[in-house]
Amino acid sequence: MTDEEEQAAKLFSGRVEFLLSAPQLKFLPEPIAPEIAFCGRSNVGKSSLLNALTGRKALARTSVTPGRTQELNFFEVGEPTQFRLVDMPGYGFAKAPPKVVENWKRLVRDYLRGRAVLKRALVLVDARHGLKDVDREMMKLLDEAAVTYRVVLTKADKLKASELEAVRAATETEAKTHAAALPVLHVTSSEKKMGIDELRAAVLADAEG
Give the interface with ligand GDP as residue ranges (CB under 6 A): 40, 42-48, 62-63, 90, 154-155, 157-158, 189-191
Least gap, CB of 193 to ligand GDP (angstroms): 9
Least gap, CB of 67 to ligand GDP (angstroms): 11
| Cα gap 200→209, rounded to integer Å | 14
Contact assessment for residue 156 and residue 188, using Cβ atoms and an 8 Å cutoff = yes
Question: Which residue's CB is nearer to ligand GDP, number 22 or number 117?
Answer: 22
Least gap, CB of 63 to ligand GDP (angstroms): 4
Question: Which residue's CB is nearer to ligand GDP, number 33 or number 104?
Answer: 104
Least gap, CB of 73 to ligand GDP (angstroms): 11
Burial call 76-103: b when 16+ CB within 10 Å, e when fewer = bbbeeebbbbbbbbbbbbeebeeebeeb
Contact assessment for residue 125 and residue 40, using Cβ atoms and an 8 Å cutoff = yes
Question: Strand pairing partners for 118?
Answer: 35
Determine the 3-state secondary structure of 170 from DSSP.
helix
Burial class of residue 107 in the structure, from the number of CB atoms within 10 Å of its CB (0-12 exposed, 13-18 middle, 19+ buried) = buried
Question: Which residue's CB is nearer to ligand GDP, number 34 or number 90?
Answer: 90
Question: Which residue's CB is nearer to ligand GDP, number 68 or number 106?
Answer: 68
Question: Which residue's CB is nearer to ligand GDP, number 182 or number 194?
Answer: 194
Least gap, CB of 191 to ligand GDP (angstroms): 3
